[in-house]
Structure 1
Amino acid sequence: GLIERHQTVVSHFQVPVENIPDDIKGLSVVQLSDIHLGAFMGLEELDRLLKEASAIGGDILAITGDLFDDNRINYKAAKVVDNYAECFKYGIYFCWGNHEHLRGIPAIDIAIEGTRIKKLDNSFDMVAGEALPVYIAGVDYPIERKQFDFLKEKYTELALKEIPSNSVKILLAHHPDFIDSAAKYNTNLVLTGHTHGGQLGLFGIPLVPPVFKYLRGMYHVGNTMGYVHSGNGSWFPFRFGCPPEIAVFTLVEK
């Protein structure tokens, strides 16, 4: 368990798109999540992780929250991530997690400013494609617990409503409950984290209680594929049957 948390696995998935044009066929998104820089993950480990992720040759790097977890190293951490921006054709995209809110969004915002980290805060960006454009959207984390459901729906609407229907839509969200709200907008792919996959598992099955509706791996809601990343960092320095991962998603012909 103490060794496994350092043994990152690479998981590959295909995202089928009907009548996909050649100019976006093969486009790939590399996902990292829940790095939790601080007590159990340092800057050197972050650099090694990014080096491994960039070597895959993906077009986009998506970091789905809980990257920053120690305000003393925010500036250095942002610089390390920025160093890899040129390794990804369409850049690095990031959305807030609950730990960024716990540490203070303003302090992290200042560190990100001036870097090439593209923050998606209930917003979207067109990244590629002409006949069938590819949009990356991202939502904030609904930190107000009593308003979670309302904010989840509102944030999803803000991020996705204005994206043309004739497009490929990819949503970055920290909490996996956004898989359901994004499915209402016929989103192709929702990349989430937050759960760490439970950090404990046996034969690929999480051993933790079913606190989350979506805990680990791939789910399908209608035509929407939703993925819950196992995380790269830790709540505690121990993993068993749930190694940290780099997840890769490639657009293919349906």
Structure 2
Amino acid sequence: MKEKYEKRLALLGLMPFIVLVVAFLFGPLLTMIIMSIQKTGGGGFSLEQYTEIFTNPFYMQSFRNSITLSLAASMISIIICAITAYFITKLSPKTQDMVLNISNLTNNFSGVPLAFAFMIMLGNSGVFIMLAKKFGVEILMNFNLYSWMGLLLMYVYFQIPLGVMLLFPTLQGIKEELKQAAFLLGASSFEFWRYIGLPIILPGIVGVFSILFANAMGAYASAYALVGSNYNLLTVQIGGLISGDIFSKTELASAIAVVLAIILILALILNDFMMKKVRRDI
């Protein structure tokens, strides 16, 4: 009787959370799905929005651009994050806390302020560009912030703090005692990382990579503030179709958002499959 009472009390305590999830996750998601199968302007259900997406080269280009940019940014970021997080584990606990706090603060620096900061530093009249022109640094003089490379640089920048914070606990799993035991048994540094270190951290790296990919795919404010509609990205297309200069196309925007959600779900499923496979092979 007491256990039943405790379960009911726990369920009652969860009610605010359940209401929030339904109101702000499942409710909008269901509305988005329903709108995506409606005809433009209403008047019945149809798959014309999805037909428009997959037959219009402009929208297909936005998918390719977003996926390519997100994959490239996530791959570069995960390498930098793994190296950085590993060396953070070598610092004293006090210094580790300080570095992680800085990473946490930097992780919250995104959106329009981040794009504005990049414009100040690397825009056409940015600080670094002006210094490069003064000292004749060719690689910076010819750098165009408002391009694919500019977007890639900004995406990598805001991915690194998040990746470092997520990978740090995984890299802490590489205990010094494991290294010493492996070296005492005759293993080289390469053999330690090949047979012990990498299998330990690989599931975490795969998991963080999928999170970084999803984070990059869903980025909107930073990209729009930097390049506007000059570079064809999924999130920019969704925002443009909802706001609309003349009239909005919420049905088409909903369909694109549904396809984007499916891509992210498939990425998470692939991540789960890879992590299970890696753990099984360890």
TM over 0.5: no
**Whose strand fraction is larger, Structure 1's or Structure 2's?**
1
Structure 2 length-normalised TM: 0.22
Q: TM-score, normalised by structure 1?
A: 0.24
Structure with greater proportional helix content = 2
